[in-house]
Amino acid sequence: MRYFFHIGYKGSSYRGWQKQVNAKSVQESIEDVLSNFLKQEIHCIGCGRTDAGVHSSQYYFHIDIKEKIEDHLFFPLNRMLPPDIAIYHITKVDHKNHAQNSATERTYNYFIHTRKNPFLSKISALYHITDLDVKKMQEAANYLLGKKDFRAFCKTPDRHNHTECDIRKAQFYIDKTGKFIRFEIRGNRFLKGMIRILMHELIEVGKNKITLQQFQNCLLSKTPPNPLNLAYPQGLYLSEISYPFLKQQASEEFCPMLKIHQWRAIKIN
C-alpha cells in the first residue's frame, strides 16, 4: 500500500530534505521515527529537494508498506517527531501515484525584511536595503514567464536531463509599511539552486547593480551571472505542491509571514 504524507517543516536546523552523510536532514529525521514506530525499515520518497535552511509549509513524501496505517497513529507519530516537523495528513493513494513524478506544479515564496528583527532571523531574509526598486524587480520577473531555458540560473545544469522550465507566476508583493517584500514563483519544475540564484539577481536589479537588459541577456544567452551567487536560504519556502488526484491546504502556521502582513501586488503599467 502506498501512503502520501502531507507535512510542513522549518528548515533552520537541517541540511535540507535529502538524507546525506554526516549531516542532519529532514528525510532522515522522519525515516528514523517511522522505522521505529512501524517496526520496519522505511524509505521516504520526497516531492523534491530543499537546500539547507530552506523551509516548507507544504511538502509531500510517500512510503510503501504492507500494513494499513490506522488513523489513530497520526497523533503519536507527531509526538515522536521533532517540534520543527509536523504531519498534517496521511492519505492512502493508488500505487501509480508518485510524490515527485506526479506533481504538476510547485510554488515557492521568498520573504525579505529590511530592518533587523531577531524574531524573523530564521524565517525571513534580512537585506539592509532602503531603496529597492521593486517595480524594476517585477519588470525583470516578467521575463521569466512561460517555457524558457533556465540553464544560466542553475548550480549544476549538466546534472539535469534538460534545463527548460514552464514558469506560470512570478510576482512581487510589498506590505503596507514598505519594509517587507515577498516574491512568489510557480512552475512545473525548478532546477538546483534556481530560485535562490534568480532571487539574488532580482535583488541586484532592484539595487540598480545590474540592468534589466543584463538580466534578460543571461536568460537568453544561457550564460550564468558572474559571479554566481545565491540569495540567503532562510527566506525561501516551498509553499505548495499540486497533484491532479489530491488537494490539501498548506499550513500558514509554518509560513507565518504569509498571514501577518497585508500584501499588495506590484503591477507594471
Which pLDDT value is given to residue 260?
67
d(CA 2, CA 126): 41
Active site residues: 51
Instruction: Look up the pTM and report it.
Output: 0.94
Which pLDDT value is given to residue 252?
74
Alpha helices, H only, the chain? 26-38, 74-80, 134-142, 194-206, 212-221
Low-confidence ranges of the chain (pLDDT < 50): none
Q: What is the CATH number of domain 108-242+250-265?
A: 3.30.70.660
Report the b/e string of 155-188 with b at 16+ CB within 10 A. Answer: eebeeeeebebebeebbbbbbeeeebbbbbbbbe
Q: Can you name the residues that pair with 69 across neighbouring β-strands?
A: none
Which pLDDT value is given to residue 145?
97
d(CA 122, CA 11): 9
Question: Quick count: other Cβ atoms within 10 Å of Cβ 220?
Answer: 12
Assigned CATH topology for domain 2-93: Alpha-Beta Plaits (3.30.70)
Q: How far is CA 6 from CA 83, 86, 142, 241, in A?
A: 16, 9, 31, 10
Which pLDDT value is given to residue 159?
87
Terminus-to-terminus CA distance in the chain, angstroms? 52
Q: Which are the contacts of 23, defined by CB distance < 8 A and separation ≥ 6?
A: 15
Q: Where are the domains of the chain?
A: 2-93, 108-242+250-265
Element (H, E) at 251: none
CA-based R_g, the chain, Å: 19
Return the closest-CA partner of residue 145 out of 165, 173, 167: 167
Identical topology for domains 2-93 and 108-242+250-265: yes
